[in-house]
Structure formats: structure tokens, C-alpha cells
A and B are shown apart, each in its own frame.
Chain A
Amino acid sequence: MPVSITLTVNGRPAALTVEPNTLLVDAIRQHLSLTGTHVGCDTSQCGACVVHLDGVSVKSCTTLAVQADGRNVTTIEGLAAPDGTLHPMQAAFKEHHGLQCGFCTPGMVMSAVDLARVNPNATPEEIRHWLEGNICRCTGYHNIVKAVESGLQAMKTGAAAQAAE
């Protein structure tokens, strides 16, 4: 029996009709055509599918769309400013070459942005721990950690600048 749900996705309301067994990632990719969120495994381990649910990082491949009913979802498409200016964490990944093929990147960036909520001053070691659920097959992680370190800094500076305005 299909179920009607309403989500707020990247700030915009979205009304969907889904089956109870529709995964949140499929609602995002197939129903909403937001294909930035990736699926890299079927064991809930790779983190390519990480989105924010009410501001907290979760694996959208291991969440049912119906469980997100009435809640806020932010995907990688929701980070950049409307004029296309990259989010500081996205800019840091670009600057520090924190990606190669880019498949893991949406999940990496969404996890990294959530780290700013929990530990904005994370050390490289703490960044590595935080990213344990995000697997990258290309980079060897060094540049990802550098990017996250710099992205966290940039997010703090950005927040301070906003507060001063």
C-alpha cells in the first residue's frame, strides 16, 4: 500500500507517494531526481549515501523514506549557495584535491559538514575516526583529511564573519 509523505528537501517542500519499503536514498534519487547522493554498497558500510536528516548525518540507504516523513533532508545538492558558490567544505575538497573519481565525495562532504556540529576543532586523528563509515577506494584518505581540516576552519571563519555582519 503506497503511503503519502512530505519531506523538506534542501529547504523545499516535497510531497511523495512511496511504498513502505522504499529506501530514503531511492526516494531522493528516483522520485526527486537528486542523483548526487550515491549508493556504493548493499551492506550499510560505505557511506556514499550519507545525507542529513534534521541536520544529523545518516545513511539514506539504511533509512526508509517513510521514516523521514515530516522531517528535513539535506543532500549534497543543498550545500552550495543558490548562485553556485560552493559550500566551504566543498571548496576545501576542491582546493586540497580530496577526491579522484568522486564517487565517495558526496557522502564524505556530508559527513564532514556534520563533524562541524559535533567537533569543529577536530584533529586529523579525530577526523579519521569520524570518517570511519565513509570508504574511499581512490585517494588513500590523506587529502580528504586535509580537506576536512581546512573545510572545518573555513566553516568557522564563515560563521564568525556572518555573526559580525
Chain B
Amino acid sequence: MYTFSYQKPSSVADAVATLTGDDDAKVVAGGMTLIPTLKQRLAQPSALVDLGSVPGLTGIRRDGDALVIGAMTTHATVAADATVRSALPALAALAGGIGDPAVRHRGTCGGSVANADPAADYPAAVVGLGGTVITDRREIAGDDFFTGLFETALEPGEIITALRFPIPKRAGYAKFRNPASRYAVVGVMVAETAAGIRVAVTGAGASVFRVAAMEQALGGTFSPAALDGIRIEADDLNTDLHASAEYRAHLVTVMARRAVEAAS
């Protein structure tokens, strides 16, 4: 690791002030992505601004027809939380399927969303459930948040404080996991929301995306069979040592069917 200084702000405002005053400073949340990156010397921040002692960034509450989850809430907490398990079991399952227990004990939902890894699970939840990313200065609709490979709508120095998920009528998540890391080779979130059906795919492309043809078909009948014959184009999908673009395209339909089957 390169050297950096370490700051432990005690409020979001302090953290934002540090980040605004130093373009090369970086937030650290659970560190489950950032620390491996630092170990490989793929990043060289001047300072790490640790959100670990900032009050108000953890916890899960029900706010009318939505769940609001603090950005520093760990995957393990989301997976085990009674409110999430009853109101949004698909999200509890998604969080409980991330990495391994030690990763889930430190990794946070805010960090996952900010990082926008093409194979991460949370982007499928934010987009598939029609969620909102809440920051220190504004609210960003999930549909507008992920802008590309590791790219988001966050401005420099902007901190995610919470995620808000409207509670769907039903939702299901299915992923084909990379057996070593458990990241999504392809993951699909399917939800029946007040505003209609949403289908969001992670792992397959540079960034999470929705599949309009599937949303339409499931709007007709919400059943796995409704997806029969819907194929997605492999052209823009990822090819790597785990799977070719064609195989990923195939997996999108298979995972979407499984997500519909799992929906509750």
C-alpha cells in the first residue's frame, strides 16, 4: 500500500468538508473493496476518511411504504434483519448471498452502491426495486444512479447516507455466482411494484440494466413461462474468463425465470 493519512470524522458534514478540501481523499466504509484495491496499489488516496464513527449512518427503518437503510449498514445486518426479511425478503436474500460471512460482517450497502462494480449484487436491488440513493445533498433515483463501469452519478466528495427501497408487492432475486468470489456472473432482480414490473440485471453488462421486453411480458402474466422465448442480445455483454457474452445472455433469461419463481 502507498501511504495515506487517516481521518475519523464524527459527522457527515466533517467528512464532506475533508473530501471537499482534498480531491485525493477517499471515503472508507467496510473496506472490503477499497482495502484490496489499496493492497494492489491500484489507488493512491492522500487520506482515508473513515465513516465508521459517524453517527446516524447505520440502521434499518420502515418509512411508510418504504424501507430506509443507512449507508453503513452491513450486508450481514440487512440479511438478518427481521423487518427486511418480512417486508423485502428478496433483499435479505441478496445481502445474505454476498461474498462470505467475514465479508458480510464488514461490507456495507452504501459502499457497494458507490463502488458500482459491474458484478455487484446491490445495483440489481437499487434499480430492480425502483430504489433511491440518498446522499448528503440530494436524492438520486436508482434509474439515474449507475452511469457506467464503476461510474455513478455521485459528485466528487458526495457521500451516500442511505438507500430507500419502496416495498414491492413481490420480488425475487436469483444469481449465478462466481464460485470463488460469489460475485454475480449474472444476477437478476424481478419486482412487482406499485408502478409496474421491473427487471434489473447485474453482472452481465458494464453496468446494471433493465430489460423492457421481460417487464412487459411479466406485466401480462407474472410467471416464469411468460419469459419463454425472450432472448437478450449478447452484443454489449461482458466476456471474461468466467463466461462469454453469449453464455451471459443465456443466463439472463434463466436467472430471470428463477427470480420470478423465487418472488414473494
Residues on A facing B (Cβ under 8 Å): 1, 3, 19-21, 23, 42-45, 47, 50, 56-59, 62-64, 66-67, 111, 114, 118, 130, 132-134
Which chain B residues lie closer than 8 Å to A59 at the CB level?
102-103, 106
Contact of B32 among A19, A44, A132 (CB under 8 A): A44
Q: Smallest distance from the beta carbon of B31 to chain A beta carbons, Å?
A: 6
B4 touches A67 (CB 8 A): no
B50 touches A111 (CB 8 A): no
10 closest Cβ contacts across the A-B interface? A133-B100, A20-B6, A21-B1, A132-B100, A59-B102, A62-B35, A44-B36, A56-B105, A57-B102, A66-B6
A133 touches B105 (CB 8 A): no
Q: B40 an interface residue at 8 Å Cβ cutoff?
A: yes
Q: How far is the CA of A118 from the CA of B101 in the complex (A)?
A: 10
Q: How far is the CA of A20 from the CA of B38 in the complex (A)?
A: 12
Contact of B102 among A1, A23, A58, A66 (CB under 8 A): A58
A42 touches B101 (CB 8 A): no
Which chain A residues lie closer than 8 Å to B86 at the CB level?
none
Q: B120 an interface residue at 8 Å Cβ cutoff?
A: no
B6 touches A62 (CB 8 A): no
Q: Smallest distance from the beta carbon of A83 to chain B beta carbons, Å?
A: 30
Which chain A residues lie closer than 8 Å to B40 at the CB level?
42
Q: Smallest distance from the beta carbon of A136 to chain B beta carbons, Å?
A: 14
Which chain B residues lie closer than 8 Å to A20 at the CB level?
3-6, 48
Q: B181 an interface residue at 8 Å Cβ cutoff?
A: yes
Which chain A residues lie closer than 8 Å to B38 at the CB level?
21
Which chain B residues lie closer than 8 Å to A111 at the CB level?
101-102
Which chain A residues lie closer than 8 Å to B150 at the CB level?
none
Number of chain B residues whose Cβ lies closer than 8 Å to a Cβ of chain A = 28
Contact of A50 among B4, B50, B102 (CB under 8 A): B102
Residues 99-157 of B contacting A (Cβ, < 8 Å): 99-103, 105-106
Q: B56 an interface residue at 8 Å Cβ cutoff?
A: no
A133 touches B103 (CB 8 A): yes
Q: B194 an interface residue at 8 Å Cβ cutoff?
A: no
Contact of A67 among B36, B50, B100 (CB under 8 A): B50
B32, B103, B180, most chain A CB atoms within 10 A: B103
CB nearest neighbor in A for B107 = A62
Contact of B105 among A58, A66, A134 (CB under 8 A): A58
Q: How far is the CA of A94 from the CA of B222 in the complex (A)?
A: 53
Q: Smallest distance from the beta carbon of B261 to chain A beta carbons, Å?
A: 21
B101 touches A64 (CB 8 A): no
A57 touches B105 (CB 8 A): yes
Which chain A residues lie closer than 8 Å to B105 at the CB level?
56-58
Which chain A residues lie closer than 8 Å to B35 at the CB level?
23, 44, 62-64
A63 touches B3 (CB 8 A): no
Q: B196 an interface residue at 8 Å Cβ cutoff?
A: no
Q: Smallest distance from the beta carbon of B6 to chain A beta carbons, Å?
A: 4
Q: How far is the CA of A58 from the CA of B107 in the complex (A)?
A: 10
Which chain B residues lie closer than 8 Å to A50 at the CB level?
102
A45 touches B181 (CB 8 A): yes
Q: Smallest distance from the beta carbon of A1 to chain B beta carbons, Å?
A: 6
Q: B242 an interface residue at 8 Å Cβ cutoff?
A: no
Q: B52 an interface residue at 8 Å Cβ cutoff?
A: yes
Known: A42-B39, A42-B40, A67-B50. A47 touches B6 (CB 8 A): no
Which chain A residues lie closer than 8 Å to B103 at the CB level?
44, 59, 133
Q: How far is the CA of A134 from the CA of B40 in the complex (A)?
A: 21
B102 touches A133 (CB 8 A): yes
Q: How far is the CA of A20 from the CA of B58 in the complex (A)?
A: 24
Which chain A residues lie closer than 8 Å to B31 at the CB level?
62-64, 67
CB nearest neighbor in A for B3 = A21
B4, B6, B31, B100, most chain A CB atoms within 10 A: B100
Q: B62 an interface residue at 8 Å Cβ cutoff?
A: no
